[in-house]
Amino acid sequence: MRNQSDNIVADIDWVMVLLYFLLVGLGIFNIYASVYDPDHPNLFDQITQHGKQITWLGVSIFLGVIIMLLETSFLKKYAYWFYGVTIVLLVIVLFMPAVNGARAWFGIGSFGIQPAEFAKIGVALALAKYLSATDHSRSRNIQSGLSIIPKFSLTKLPLPALMILLVPAALILLQPDAGTFIIFTSFILVLYREGYAGNVLLFLIVAVIIAVVTLVVAESSFIIPGLKIKLSGKTGIVLSLITLGIIFYFVIRSFVLPRNRGGLYKALIGSLVVAIIFVNFIEIGYSKILMDHQKTRIDLVLGKIDDPDGEGYNINRAKAAIGSGGFFGKGYMKSTLANENQGHVPMQSTDFIFCTWSEEWGFAGSFSLVLIYTILLIKMIIIAERQRSDFTRIFAYSVTGIFFYHFMINVGMAIGLAPVIGIPLPFFSYGGSSMMSFSILFFHSAQIGCRA
């Protein structure tokens, strides 16, 4: 615990506290508007979602205060223990009754706890502890100051660090919860900042491009002009990759000194083999592993199908609600589409909470909310860069990456730029597990911010 002589109030980062209460306050009033029931108008009514959210907020603030009082050394000491507990919970939850087709919840009366939300905290703590304990010299050599573009590095990621990420991610995928699984890729940004994954980040970008192209054309076919040979889309992609490989081979042979060609040839062959395997993995995963509704959501985003009143109903209605808000919106409690009584927008208090806000406050309100989240993320990056401790810097960047992914994907779902994968908007979407996990992450970020 902190020394009692410390001036706790003076150390608090009040800008972060203001942002927290601003977002949770707006979120609760937004939930109230989205699920308003004239039979239960009391804001604190525990039968309603807004009443339960206030309860979860109270619990979250209590946990946040405890986090603020704890020394960073205490959290670092027990980081692996917390990680271990979350892994155990992720295993146990696989044996729980399925809810909406996924075994992801522990039911407690009318409340539910989702351990995957807390697994993010466990991974952030464990990853920060491992990397800070095993590679001090590397982290100190990264340039200081507000710079999130470290030197490109080919350093291999230690296997234990990779396992810290993969074990909970695999368990979450078994639930199955593809949305939370995707959130775990946010830790690649952390590794990039720490100098491990410049090549991994580049590979991820290329992989996303190849995956999108594969999914768009995998089920199509074409005929090679003049040869009358019919090829599948996947075969065409493989031939295109081989063609690019041949082109790069001649580029290397023509413009690179002979003594430097060997390593580039190996990298080219390795990249080509990995790319071809990846194309087949994407095609098999899409056709054999994904459930039908998951494939449909991906096809909708990629424009492969157009079914506004069927499979595309959620996205179509979400965009309609956002568009109907105009520039200044319809006013608080005056939404005609994104509210529970109308039932026009599904999950309007959770996955599509942004729709209710946009319809009531319009483009001006949506822009303001995006601006608030942007300020929060910038503030988090500044806090991370101010850290003198490897552990706190890595953890702070983990928090920033998690918040960024949630914000980007949730808003992307609402406006039709991302598939519907059940990602909550931090502090806005209804949900006790997400409120507590985001609050714990946030308060720890604020804690290390005031002690930098």
Write out pLDDT tens, residues 396-421. Answer: 899 999 999 999 988 988 887 777 77
How far is the first Cα of the chain from the last one, in angstroms, to the nearest whole number? 17
Mean pLDDT by 10 residues, the chain (452 residues): 50 80 92 85 84 90 82 81 91 79 67 81 90 59 40 56 86 81 84 69 65 64 52 64 79 79 75 73 68 68 63 75 86 80 74 88 91 92 85 90 91 81 87 86 72 55
Task: Look at the alpha carbons of 353, 354, 356, 357 in this order and tell me if their dihedral is positive or negative.
Answer: positive
pLDDT computed for residue 2 by the predictor: 47
Q: What's the angle, vertex CA 87, arms to CA 103 and CA 411, rounded to 5?
A: 60
| Alpha-helix runs per DSSP H in 325-389 | 353-385
Read off the DSSP letter of residue 95.
G
Residue 357: exposure state from Cβ atoms within 10 A (0-12, 13-18, ≥19): buried
Write out pLDDT tens, residues 222-256. Answer: 555 554 555 555 666 677 777 777 887 888 888 77
Q: Which of 451, 426, 446, 436 is nearest to 379 (CA)?
A: 446
Return the H-helix or E-strand segment holding 121. helix 115-134
- The structural domains of the chain, with segments of one domain joined by +, span 8-213+298-450, 218-290
Asked whether the beta carbons of 13 and 449 are under 8 A apart, the reply is: yes
**Spatial distance between the Cα atoms of 200 and 213, rounded to a whole number of angstroms:** 20
In this structure, the number of other CB atoms found within 10 A of the CB of residue 404 comes to: 19
